[in-house]
Chains A and B, each alone.
Chain A
C-alpha cells in the first residue's frame, strides 16, 4: 500500500481521524480478542459506509455493493496494514461507479471529513484536499486489484422485491396495507450489511430470510398449500437455513449495542 499512497495522502487520512477504533465508537476492551476487535472495527466501518451512503443520497444497491467490496477486501488482507476508513471511502467511490450512481470524490471527502470532525468548516481547495483525493483514488485501484476486478455482485434486493410482490398477492389487500412488511423487510436487508453474513449467504436466501422474519414479526397469515411459500420462491432453501440466517442477522443487532 505504501507504494501507491504518497506520504502526504497517508498523513491526510490519518489526520482525517480514521484510526481503527480511534475517534468513533467505544474503546476496545482488553478482554476482546483480536478477532472480536476486528469484527467490531468492521461493524463500525460498515456503519460509517451506511451513514455516508445516506448523506450522499446513495441508493440501497450501491451501498450494498460498497459494503460487499469492503468485506471481501478484508477477507483477504489484514486490517492492521490498511487503513479501513480509507478503504471504505474507496469502496463507496468504486461502488458508485459499478452501480451507475456516480459520486464525486469532492462530495465523499466532504461528508467523510465532517463525519470525523463534526461541525467543522468545509475543506479548502488546498494541499490537504488534493492529498485526500489522491489517496482515495489510489486506494480504489488497490481494492480493484485485490478483488481481481470482480466487483459486480448479485444482490438480494431484486429478489426480495419480486418475492414481496408475489407474497403480497396471497394476502388480503387491506391486511397488507395495515402491516408495514415492506418497510421492515427492507430495513432488515439493509442492516444485514453490517456484517459478513452478506457475503456468506446466497442473495436469494438472504431475501427469503428477511421476508420471513418480517412476516413473522407481525404475525401475518399466509395461506398454506402443498408447499411453503418460501420453498416455492427458492427451491434450494431449507427451514434451518432460514433460521441460521435469521440468527446471524439478530446477532448483528446485538453487536450494535457493543460497538456503538
Chain B
C-alpha cells in the first residue's frame, strides 16, 4: 500500500477515516504493515466539512484497491504538445481563469509549480547589454496557468541568446515589444525570479522540436486565444467553450485522451471486486475461443477432404482443404493434407511450400516432416534431370537435415555428389581433349569419307523407315565433320552450308547422341515431318496423368525437348515413397508414364543406382568420342535421356533388352532404355539396326573405337536423317574410294 497516499488521505479526512480503515482492512496484511506508522500521527480534518461517513466507509472498504501500488497505471507521462492547428480534443483555457482564483494565489501557485523546461511566451520590455527582460503573457507548454495579469518578468541572459550567424551582437536581432517564445531555464522560488533561455537545450525531450525565439501573434496557443475571448466575454462559460470547440466533436477524442492520460481501455480499472483483472482468464477471451473454434471447424473439413482423397475425388478433396484453410489459415492438418495432394498430383513446388508452412507452425508434425522429405528428394530428382545438380544436392541435404534416417535421401545425396564430381572431372577432361583434338588435322579425304558414310546411311534409313534411324553415330559423324569443315575454309559451299546445318542440327544431336553411344537409342532427327508425327502420336498416352513439371525443364534442345515433354520424369522413380502413407491412395496414377506395371519399384531403384554407376563410365566414353566443348553438356544430356527413357519404358520390347547388353555393366539399365525407346517410337527397324551395332560392338569387346564409331554412326545417321542432301557431283567419284577406305577401317557392316 502506498503509505504516502494513505497519509495524504488520512490528513484530509481525519481520524474517523483511520478508524474505518482499521475496521475494514483488518485482514489486509499490507495495511497491517504500515498501520503503526500511520497511527503515530493524529489526523485532524483539514476542512471543516461534514462528516462524510459514507465516503469514508467506501474509502476504507476499497482501500486495498485504491492504494495498491499497481493501481497507478503509468509513470509521469511526458506532456506532448499537439500539432499546431490540430485539435484532437477541446483545448480549454486555464481553469484558474474560470474559477477566478485570486491574484496572490495564482502567483504563489505559479512559483510553486513552474519547472525547468516549461515554455513561456512573453513580450520584450527592455534590452540591456547582459540580456533582455520579458514580460510573460502566457504559458506555451508544460504548465497551463493564467498568468497574463500577474505581469511576471523573466530575464533572458546574453549567453542564452543564440547568435544568428553573422558577427553582430546577437541582441541586435531583437527589438522592444517583440513576442518571444522561450524555455524556462531556472527558477528561484524564494526570490521569485525566473530565468529563461532561447537555446533549444533548455527544453525537455518532449518539447524539443518547438522553435524558440521571435514569435508571431497568430501563433499564440489556442488556449490563450480562447482565454482572451473568455476574459472579454462574460457569457462564455467553460461549458460553452467546450461545446463550441472543434475537438469536442471529434469522435475519437475519448480514445485520444485516454492515451494521453495513460489509462488503459483494454484492461480497464474497476473498483468492483468481481471485475478485477485477475479474474479474467485468457481462454475466456473472444479471440482465443475463436481460434480454437476455427481450428476445430477446419479439422472437420480436412477430415471430409481426406475421405474424398481416399475415394479418389481429388477435386472435392482440394475444395475441402481450401475451405478448411479459409476457415483457419495456416491450419497445420489442412496444409499437410493439401501438400500431400499436390505432391501426388505432381505439383511438387506447391507441396513443398505447404509442408514448410505447416512445419513453421508445428515443427514436430510427423507426417509433415515425412512428406516434406519425400517431396524434396523427388524434386531433387527432377532437378537432376534438368542438370541443376547443385540445387538438387541442396534439396537432398535439406531432406536429410529434416530426417536423417531417410534412406532415399541419403542415397540420392551420395549419387548426386558423385555426379557433381564426375561432371567436374569430365569438364576437365573435355578441356584436355579439346586441346588434344585441336592438334589433329584431318585430311580432306577423311572428311569426305565421313560425309559420304553419313549420307549413305541416311539414304538407307529413309528407305527402311520414315522415322529417324539410330543414326546417332552417323549423324555425329556428319556433324563432327561438318564442324571441322566449318572451321576450315570451305571449298564447297553446299558442303559447308550442309556442314553448318549439320552443326546446328547435330550440335543438338551430338549432345543427345554422345551421351548414349551404343546403348542409348538416338533421338529422331528433329526437322523431319516424321518426327512431328511421332511426337504427336506418342504424347497422348502420357498427357492424362502427366505432371505439370514440364515447364520447369529447360527447353534446351529441340529434339531432346520432345523427350522431356513426353515423359513424366518427375514422377519416375519416387512415387514409391508415397505408398505407405494414408494420402497415397493411388500412387500408381502419378507413375502414369510407367504405369504399365512393368517396372516395379525395384527396377526403378535399381535403375537409379545403375544409372549412377554407369553414368560415369558412359560419360568418359562419350567424352572421348567427342571433340570440342559439347561433350560435357552432351554427357549430362545423356543422363537426362536415360532418365527419360527409363521413365517412359513400356513393356512391349522387353525381349530386346537382352540384345542390347554391352560390355558396360549397367545392362538392365540399358535394357530399360532399349525397351523404352523401341516401345515409344515404334521404330523397329531402328531397333534392329542398333541391335546389329550392339552386336558388333560386343564382339569388339567394348573397345574405344567401336564406341567411337557407334557414336559417330549414330550422329551421322541422325544428322543424315534430318536432312536430305544432294551430293555434289564432283564428289561422286570419290565415293567408291572412301567406301573402300572405310571398310578397311572399321569392322562394322554398313547398314
Contacts and interface: CB of A to CB of B under 8 A. Distances in A.
Contacts of A216: 12, 52, 55
B733 interface: no
B95 A167 contact: yes
B24 interface: no
A122 B95 contact: no
A227 B237 CA distance: 12
Given A169-B95, A224-B101, A55 B274 contact: no
Given A173-B113, A223-B101, A55 B296 contact: no
Given A55-B286, A260-B274, A190 B268 contact: yes
Given A122-B293, A180-B73, A250-B54, A169 B145 contact: yes
B130 interface: no
A107 B286 CA distance: 5
Interface in A71-92: none
A232 B95 contact: yes
A128 to B, nearest CB: 13
A216 B143 CA distance: 23
A59 B255 contact: yes
A122 B251 contact: no
Contact of A55 (B46, B94, B284): B284
B144 interface: yes
Nearest to A108: B286
B8 A162 contact: no
Contact of A111 (B59, B143, B268, B289): B289
B271 interface: yes
A161 B248 CA distance: 11
B95 A166 contact: yes
A234 B238 CA distance: 7
Interface stretch (B259-267, B329-337, B643-651): B259-267
Contacts of B287: 57, 107
A232 B9 contact: no
Contact of B66 (A60, A174, A217): A217
Nearest to A114: B284
A256 B272 contact: yes
B655 to A, nearest CB: 61
A47 B274 CA distance: 8
Interface stretch (A27-35, A134-142, A181-189): A181-189
A125 B255 contact: no
A172 B101 contact: no
Contacts of B266: 57
Contacts of B296: 121-122, 124
A19 interface: no
B112 interface: yes
Interface string A229-245: 10011110000000000
Main secondary structure of the interface of B (DSSP, over half): helix
A157 interface: yes
A164 B261 contact: yes
B401 interface: no
B278 interface: no
A118 B279 CA distance: 13
B105 A218 contact: no
A11 interface: no
Nearest to A171: B113
Contact of A183 (B71, B94, B143): B71
Contacts of A213: 55
Nearest to B102: A225
A158 B99 contact: no
A230 B507 CA distance: 98
Contact of B289 (A122, A125, A179): A122
Contact of A232 (B113, B238, B261): B238
Given A172-B112, A225-B101, A226-B99, A158 B9 contact: no
A51 B9 contact: no
A132 interface: no
A6 interface: no
A220 B258 CA distance: 21
Contacts of B273: 256, 260
A170 B96 contact: yes
Given A110-B293, A218-B5, A187 B12 contact: no
A45 interface: no
A109 to B, nearest CB: 10
A38 interface: no
A42 interface: no
Contacts of B391: none
A1 B745 CA distance: 109
B77 to A, nearest CB: 8
A165 B261 contact: yes
A25 B219 CA distance: 59
A66 interface: no
A250 B286 CA distance: 31
Contacts of B290: 106-107, 110, 122
B115 A60 contact: no
Interface string A98-129: 00100000111011001100100111110000
Chain B: interface size category: 35 or more
B251 A100 contact: yes
Contact of B270 (A100, A122, A187, A250): A187
A161 B259 CA distance: 11
Interface string A145-163: 0000000000001110110
A161 B55 contact: no
A217 B67 CA distance: 10
B704 interface: no
A246 interface: yes
B89 interface: yes
B72 interface: yes
A50 interface: yes
A54 interface: yes
B257 A161 contact: yes
Q: With a 10 A CB-CB cut-off, give which of B90, B96, B266, B271 has the most chain A CB atoms.
A: B271
Nearest to A231: B99
Interface in B573-591: none
A200 interface: no
Interface string B444-473: 000000000000000000000000000000
B100 A225 contact: yes
A191 B271 contact: yes
B598 interface: no
Contacts of A47: 272, 274-275
Nearest to A164: B261
Nearest to A212: B55
A4 interface: no
Contact of A217 (B59, B257, B268): B59
Q: With a 10 A CB-CB cut-off, give which of A188, A253, A260 has the most chain B CB atoms.
A: A253
B461 to A, nearest CB: 69
Given A161-B254, A165-B261, A232 B144 contact: no
Q: With a 10 A CB-CB cut-off, give which of A165, A194, A213 has the most chain B CB atoms.
A: A165
B62 to A, nearest CB: 8
A183 B9 contact: no
Contact of A223 (B96, B267, B268, B284): B96
A178 B4 contact: yes
Contacts of A165: 89, 92, 257, 260-261
A229 B99 contact: yes
Contact of A54 (B12, B248, B280): B280
Contact of A191 (B94, B270, B285): B270
B67 to A, nearest CB: 9
21 contacts: A47-B275, A55-B280, A122-B289, A157-B254, A158-B253, A161-B261, A179-B8, A183-B72, A183-B263, A184-B269, A186-B269, A188-B271, A218-B5, A219-B11, A219-B46, A223-B99, A232-B95, A232-B98, A233-B238, A233-B239, A253-B58
Q: Which 10 A-B pairs have the closest CB atoms?
A: A219-B12, A225-B99, A122-B293, A225-B101, A226-B100, A169-B144, A161-B257, A107-B286, A187-B269, A232-B98
Given A174-B76, A183-B269, 13 more contacts: A122-B289, A161-B89, A161-B258, A162-B89, A177-B76, A179-B5, A184-B66, A186-B269, A219-B10, A224-B105, A225-B96, A226-B99, A256-B273
